[in-house]
């Protein structure tokens, strides 16, 4: 009888050990997935910040511009002389802006912003002609990104020109 009880105890310990190892393995995988999701959310939040900052700016440098021909040409998109991040006054000033940033979890992100005119007949197709539409693309790259993102997250925002007449 004693040998049967010992074998049952050993079997129970083996089952308990296997259960504990499996549980720990799942906890580690869940923690890694949670950490990766946190990185993605921080990166998306950072990209969204640039888009939201641009949303409150004018469509073009010339406040009174109403004709397409009077808009800034696609060759001259980007910050004007003397402008830098924080002093941008229209959407296309963000074109070419780039920054390296380590967010709260100390992972290095490279953020690149581009702005360009888009063809109104073929959405999201860049054009060298002036149009009533500009697209801002914010790309965030990090070597720490893995899985479906493969290193880069891209957010896009389409801005449409609107002109309000006032008395």
Q: Please write the tens of the pLDDT for every residue from 72-81.
A: 888 888 888 8
Full-model pTM: 0.74
Q: How far apart are CA 93 and CA 60, in angstroms?
A: 9
Tens of pLDDT along 44-53? 888 898 899 9
Q: Which residue has the tokens 């949303």?
A: 55
Q: How many residues does the chain have?
A: 167
User: In the prediction, which pLDDT does 59 show?
Assistant: 84
- Of 58, 64, 63, 96, which is closest to residue 77 (Cα–Cα)? 96
Q: Identify the three-state secondary structure at position 62.
A: coil
- Segment 134-139 shows an average pLDDT of 92
pLDDT tens-place string over residues 11-69 = 888 888 888 888 777 777 777 777 777 777 888 888 898 899 998 888 888 766 667 77
d(CA 33, CA 35): 5
Q: Is-contact 117 128, C-beta < 8 A?
A: yes
Given a cut of 50, is residue 166 above it in pLDDT?
A: no
CA–CA dist 131, 74 (Å, integer): 10
- Domains of the chain by residue range: 2-160
Is the Cα torsion angle 35, 40, 46, 49 positive or negative in sign? negative
């Amino acid at each position: 009888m004693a040998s049967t009880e010992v074998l049952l105890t050993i079997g129970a310990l083996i089952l308990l050990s296997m259960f504990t190892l499996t549980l720990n393995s799942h906890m580690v995988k869940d923690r890694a997935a949670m950490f990766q999701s946190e990185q993605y959310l921080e990166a998306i939040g950072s990209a969204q910040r640039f888009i939201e900052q641009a949303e409150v700016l004018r469509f073009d440098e010339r406040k009174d511009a109403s004709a397409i021909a009077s808009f800034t040409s696609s060759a001259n998109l980007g910050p004007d002389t003397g402008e830098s991040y924080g002093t941008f006054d229209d959407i296309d000033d963000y074109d070419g802006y780039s920054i390296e940033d380590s967010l709260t979890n100390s992972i290095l992100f490279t953020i690149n912003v581009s702005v360009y005119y888009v063809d109104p007949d073929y959405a999201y197709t860049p054009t060298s002609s002036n149009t009533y539409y500009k697209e801002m693309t914010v790309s965030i790259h990090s070597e720490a990104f893995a899985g479906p993102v493969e290193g880069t997250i891209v957010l896009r925002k389409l801005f449409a020109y609107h002109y309000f007449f006032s008395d």
